[in-house]
Amino acid sequence: MLIIFQELTKNFEQSLLASLIKNDKKEEFEDLRKNLITQSSKEEFGDYQCNICLVLSKIYKKNPRDIASDFIKKLNKNKRILDLCKDLEIAGPGFINIKLKDEILIKEIKLNIKCPRAGVPLSSNNVKDRLPDKVVVDFSSPNIAKEMHVGHLRSTIIGDSISRIFELRGYQVLRINHIGDWGTQFGMLITQLKDLYANNLKEIDQIKISDLVEFYKSSKKRFDNESEFQERSREEVVKLQSGNTESTAAWNLLCNQSRKEFDEIYKSLNIKIKERGESFYNPFLKSVIEELDYKNLLVEDQGAKCVFLDGMTNKEGKPLPLIIQKKDGGFNYATTDLAAIKYRFNKAPDGDDASRIIYVTDHGQSNHFAGVFQVAKKANWIPENCQVDHVPFGLVQGIDGKKLKTREGDTIRLKDLLFEAVRRAKEDLLERLKNENRYETEKFILNTSRVIGIGAVKYADLSQNRITNYQFSFDKMLSLNGNTAPYLLYTLVRISGINRKNDLIDESKHSISLNYEHECEWRLIRKLLKFDEVIISIEKDLMPNRLCNYLFELCQTYNRFYDQVPILKEEKYKKISRLKLCDLTEKTLKLSLELLGIETLERM
């Protein structure tokens, strides 16, 4: 219904500018037009509301209801507004309630039924004979020789959902896994590897990721306590950076072992992502220094090369430096991230030719990215009409409000958390089958448990405002009641049950006139038509929880419709009209769950 909203806004603006804004007030029009029309706060107020008359009353020193009355007279002369709206009504101190005509809503519903994207339009960047704009989404980003933990969960599924939404809108999306596969820590890892597997480095193929974690800890301990090991580790870093064959081979073995574990988790989460680690940008780091120096942005401070940031200060109130090259000549994360921005915005084949870059990381990296973005803008590496966004998120906490950890105080491994979710989902399912005296195959039980368990974990995270911390609770996320994945899946299963019992399947697919009378039908229609607005709002503010909130409300609206309105036991024309609403609800639910990376079920 976004197109109707935009058309209404446009016509309201025209009437406002033409009849209510005097010549000496036209400069205020830009401020007045903001939020000229908004969604109604309650159903009884109509589809939209306009509160401009309350604002105008302060400018013209007139009663807002009198202004509203004059405004409605002008609006009623606008043919397009008359085509779209029922009578415009004044409410309260001077609000204008706007209700769309029934035939307009039915027309939109018919269009959405036919549309494979359930009414979501392609973005305006999709122009004939031109590739759509490219969006780079940088998410997940685990480190080599370390296991993925619960902290990686948020980045991975938030980034995946954002990617899916941009793909639905028709953008080219490049999903990047910026893994930590480079840096000084690899000197000690490779040295430890050579010490333990001096005869045959390929024996590391037998090492699991959990062993690699212990391997990392032991090498770090030696690095901190053995000066000879520390010296050899530093020499190993130089060898690696210079492309030494043996060191590179050892580095590849370490990366490959970690990659196996990462890929297993991505498979279980149904995540598609292209690995492009820190090492990819290593050849470009020197040019970052040279160009910043050429543009007179670099300042030497205590031996390090820095760019001092505007508006960012330390505890003493002095400008914060973003260190680009360390005193010893080494590079750090900022250097790599600047090289990445430069590469991603560069035109192909020397870059990705992106129009927008989105970074999904924890809130603790906000200042880092603010500094990196500022330097990139100063260096003119972010082209005009392009943008960079940091998508920060809070911590995953236990029900005690503290950071989620094991009983031993260790960070919870992501694979253990997912395994436990599926185990509990299976336990709940078996209990339900027992109570219903119902038999299902082992294949059904395993698949249903997996879909519910993984889906519940994803939805519990995505349904939260990503900026805040949230408390992780298996009991809440696996509940069939409330804003949970099982509740949404259950609603979808309910619709599938109707379709299985429908004896007018073929006939209901034909184009016929739709007729609606019941209040629950119109509520469901209006809720279904808001889907496009929700998706486009997420494209702007990158808040996937908006989609979850919408889905919960949609399911509540549908279930009231299901409970109060006969569907299959109704005369033919009503039956087909209501089945069409069931079909569109099913399509919208399935598509939305797919956007959240959640699989669906026909039965559960």
- In this structure, the number of other CB atoms found within 10 A of the CB of residue 480 comes to 13
| pTM attached to this predicted model | 0.92
Q: What is the CATH number of the domain that holds 371?
A: 3.40.50.620
Q: Strand locations in 55-213, DSSP E?
A: 89-91, 95-98, 134-138, 172-177
Quick one: pLDDT at residue 127? 63
**How many CB atoms neighbour CB 409 within 10 A?**
7
Decide which of 82, 100, 118 is a domain's last residue: 100
Domain range for 533: 422-595
Which whole number is the average pLDDT over 20-35?
61
Please say if the pLDDT value at position 9 is more than 80.
yes
Same domain, 350 and 447: no
The percent of residues above 90 in pLDDT, for the chain, comes to 63
Same domain assignment for residues 463 and 572: yes
pLDDT tens readout for residues 200-249: 666 666 666 667 778 888 899 999 999 999 999 989 888 888 888 888 88
439: which 2 tokens?
């038999």
The answer on 434 and 299 residing in a single domain is no
- Whole-number pLDDT of residue 55: 83
Residues 464 and 539 in one domain: yes
Q: What is the pLDDT of residue 529?
A: 96
Indicate whether 279 pLDDT > 70. Answer: yes
pLDDT digits (tens, 9 = 90+) for 40-87: 878 888 899 998 888 888 877 889 999 899 889 888 888 999 999 988
When divided into structural domains, the chain yields a total of 3
User: For residue 592, is pLDDT > 80?
Assistant: yes
pLDDT for 168: 97
Examine residue 273 and state whether it is found in any structural domain, yes or no.
no
Residues 375 and 437 in one domain: no
Mean local confidence (pLDDT), 132-155: 92
Q: Is the pLDDT of residue 329 over 70?
A: yes
120 is a domain residue = no
Task: Note the pLDDT of residue 214.
Answer: 82
The answer for residues whose C-beta is within 8 angstroms of residue 361's C-beta and 6 or more apart is 141, 155, 369, 390, 391, 392, 393
Q: Do 380 and 467 fall into the same domain?
A: no
Q: Write down the mean pLDDT value for the chain.
A: 90
- Same domain (yes/no): 359, 432: no
> Do both 383 and 426 map to the same domain?
no
Residues 470 and 571 in one domain: yes
DSSP code string of 495-536? HHHHHHH-S-HHHHTS-------SHHHHHHHHHHTTHHHHHH
Q: Are residues 463 and 577 in the same domain?
A: yes
Are both 488 and 583 inside the same structural domain?
yes
Structure tokens at 147: 């296991």
- Predicted pLDDT of residue 316: 82
Find the CATH number of the domain harbouring 83.
Answer: 3.30.1360.70
* pLDDT 10s digits, 501-533: 776 655 555 556 788 999 999 999 999 999 999
Residues 505 and 583 reside in one and the same domain = yes
The pairing of strands 134-138 and 274-275 is unpaired
